[in-house]
Amino acid sequence: MKSSFVVPADLDAVQRHPKAAKVGERMRMHNPLCYGCGEESAEGLHLQMFAGEDFEVTATMDVAARFEGGPGVIHGGVLSTAFDDVMGMIPLLIGPSAVTVHLEVDYQRPIPIGSQLQFTAKLLGRQRRKIYAEGIAHLGDPDEPVATGHAIFVTIDVREHFADHLANSRLADEYKARMSRP
Ligand SMILES: CCCCCCCC(=O)SCCNC(=O)CCNC(=O)[C@H](O)C(C)(C)COP(=O)(O)OP(=O)(O)OC[C@H]1O[C@@H](n2cnc3c(N)ncnc32)[C@H](O)[C@@H]1OP(=O)(O)O
């Protein structure tokens, strides 16, 4: 790893949330319009996420033609979007909603259009509101990663965080109704 990502030594204890998805279960979309995992995002990545053991998430993504960067290979920004979303599922295993404050990606091999990318992400630790995660992407052999990601997420109060922005969503009415419920 070339990353300078540092996880603090004095981490908090964490527990898997009792309502978190069970091992092997598909993790629910946090937003159907999400560019990463949303099924209603026509141009999105359509990542499929599954809860793993302990504090792990796995995911798959078909590298579609629309994700091309260099000729025949995935765009680096698309790959970092995928890492953001896959690692972004880790906080849901321990409970709180959280958003990305830091994301870094090491690109190790070109990733062909037409391939299926597989991801494994895991919790590295939590300190107060900060949740540290690591992910790898591979093309079938987890021991041969094609890219590695690291991220920090910070827990949020969802209603407060998105309050001023709900009107921008194509699902504005639905979200406003949902967030106004006690
Ligand atoms: C609901 C699920 C959605 C999942 C979607 C997929 C993930 C995403 O793409 S999210 C979209 C991109 N991210 C964003 O838009 C976030 C924008 N940022 C923000 O809104 C704010 O920075 C916010 C609310 C996260 C934090 O602000 P605030 O509440 O004031 O907290 P703040 O005190 O600054 O930071 C909290 C802790 O995080 C640390 N921190 C903040 N930013 C960083 C950073 N870039 N790097 C490292 N640490 C950081 C702070 O140092 C602090 O740590 P400590 O506990 O040691 O004091």
Domain limits for position 93: 48-157
Q: How far is the centre of ligand 1, averaged over its atoms, from the C-alpha of 166 (Å)?
A: 19
Judge whether 150 lies within some domain. Answer: yes
The CATH code of the domain that includes 131 is: 3.10.129.10
Judge whether 36 lies within some domain. Answer: no
The preferred substitution site among 84, 99, 119, 159 for testing ligand 1, maximizing ligand atoms within 8 Å of CB, is 99
pLDDT per residue over 148-171, tens digit each?
Answer: 999 999 999 999 999 999 999 999
Q: Is the ipTM of this complex over 0.95?
A: yes
Judge whether 81 lies within some domain. Answer: yes
Judge whether 54 lies within some domain. Answer: yes
Judge whether 168 lies within some domain. Answer: no
The pTM assigned to this predicted structure is 0.96
Judge whether 153 lies within some domain. Answer: yes
Domain count, the chain: 1
Instruction: Give the C-alpha separation, 30 to 80, whole Å.
Output: 18
